[in-house]
Amino acid sequence: MAGKEGFVSVNGVPTHVITWGGWVEDELNADHKEIVLLIPGNPGLTGYYNAFLTELHNRLGVPVWAVSLAGQVLPPPTSPHSLPPLKQNPELYNLEGQVEHKLAFIEKYVPENVKIILVGHSIGAKMILDILKNSDVRSRVLKAYLLFPTIERMAESPNGKLMTGVVKHIVPVILYLVWIFTFFPVFVKKFLLSVHFMLRRIPTCHVAPTMKLMNPTVLGNVFFLAMDEMEKVKELDNESLRDLSDLLFLYYGTTDGWVPLEYWKDMAQKNPQIKCMVCEKRIDHAFVLRYNSEMADILLDLIKEHLQKSLTQFRP
């Protein structure tokens, strides 16, 4: 079943949301006592997760929601609301602003009687750790699955060194080229992106969200958040991690340029009470590009394994 998508206002930012099993502004079916809420990585366009979450919902049978990162999907031209500009509103789009954005979304749209299964990908995992510091939200969370979690030493990782050493200095050039790209006819843009994905053996279903990404405003917000991540995602807060250990499940990759295996080894050594798993299938960090079914299978098994135990604890 295809997801329903649209925009809602969160902290004054038009925010793209995709849901399966009930729209965020509709009343949930009384049988639904829990939802899965995904917080994406950066770029945080929910469209990239469409196939992954469709499969997860179809097989799990509970509502699944995905909320985009603030400022990373433009509302349609017909919308009466536009994105607040970055220069005047950096606090909306930096790492702290993204966390506040998700907290506000949960408070506004997730019914208080519904338990939450959080899924965070990449920097979405770091956002979840910060979200769980809010005691009200934490009391409603059944489990938090952190997939390829960029929760420490981002700038020291191989990809982080590339970002800070090279990409950071050519961002204006990238944005200029993307600005030129926006003047191409739509069919030309789709053709070029389709060829790009086919050459990389990536499904062309990702052309649609990439069309939305290829915009100077959106990409500028993406890079702004990325640079903020490099500066702020440093050493682990081991005390907070231990405090949250009963809620967390971390899934690490074996070929991850953002989260080298040594990060997993350090985590397992310093926080043995936290459940971690290392991928056995060599799934990429950006799993949504090629490995939707495989990752959905893995997450489905994990959720089913933990769900009954968690619900038993919450229900009399």
Structural domain includes residue 198: no
Structural domain includes residue 259: yes
Cα 38 to Cα 17: distance, rounded to the nearest angstrom: 10
Q: List, for residues 186-230, the tens digit of each pLDDT value.
A: 999 999 999 999 999 999 999 999 999 999 999 999 999 999 999
The torsion defined by the Cα of 185, 191, 194 and 199, in degrees rounded to 10, comes to -130
Candidates 16, 130, 256, 310; catalytic one: 256
Structural domain includes residue 216: no
**Cis omega (within 30 of 0) for bond into 14:** no
Range of the domain at 59: 4-154+234-311
pLDDT for position 306: 79
Q: List, for residues 170-189, the tens digit of each pLDDT value.
A: 999 999 999 999 999 999 99
For the entire predicted model, the pTM comes to 0.94
Residue type, 157: S
Q: List, for residues 5-49, the tens digit of each pLDDT value.
A: 999 999 999 999 999 998 998 877 766 789 999 999 999 999 999
Cα 313 to Cα 316: distance, rounded to the nearest angstrom: 8
Q: Report the CATH number that the domain containing residue 240 is assigned in CATH.
A: 3.40.50.1820
Structural domain includes residue 78: yes
User: Is 194 a residue of the active site?
Assistant: no
Candidates 16, 121, 206, 285; catalytic one: 285
CB 80 within 8 A of CB 25: no
User: Is 266 a residue of the active site?
Assistant: no
Structural domain includes residue 195: no
User: Is 122 a residue of the active site?
Assistant: yes
**Is the pLDDT assigned to residue 260 strictly greater than 70?**
yes
For the chain, what is the domain count? 1
DSSP characters for the chain? Answer: -PPEEEEEEETTEEEEEEEESS-TTSPPPTT--EEEEEE--SS--GGGGHHHHHHHHHHH-S-EEEEPPTTSSPPPTT-S--PPPTTT-HHHHSHHHHHHHHHHHHHHHS-TTSEEEEEEETHHHHHHHHHTTSHHHHTTEEEEEEES---S-GGGSHHHHHIIIIIHHHHHHHHHHHHHHTTS-HHHHHHHHHHHHHHTT--GGGHHHHHHH-SHHHHHHHHHHHHHHHHH--S--HHHHHHTTTTEEEEE-SS-SSS-HHHHHHHHHH-TTSEEEE-SS---SSGGGT-HHHHHHHHHHHHHHHHHHHHHHH--
Q: List, for residues 270-303, the tens digit of each pLDDT value.
A: 999 999 999 989 999 999 999 999 999 999 999 9
Candidates 68, 122, 157, 310; catalytic one: 122
CB 107 within 8 A of CB 84: no
Structural domain includes residue 167: no
Structural domain includes residue 215: no
Structural domain includes residue 85: yes
State how far Cα 86 lies from the chain centre. Answer: 20
Strand partners, 8: 15
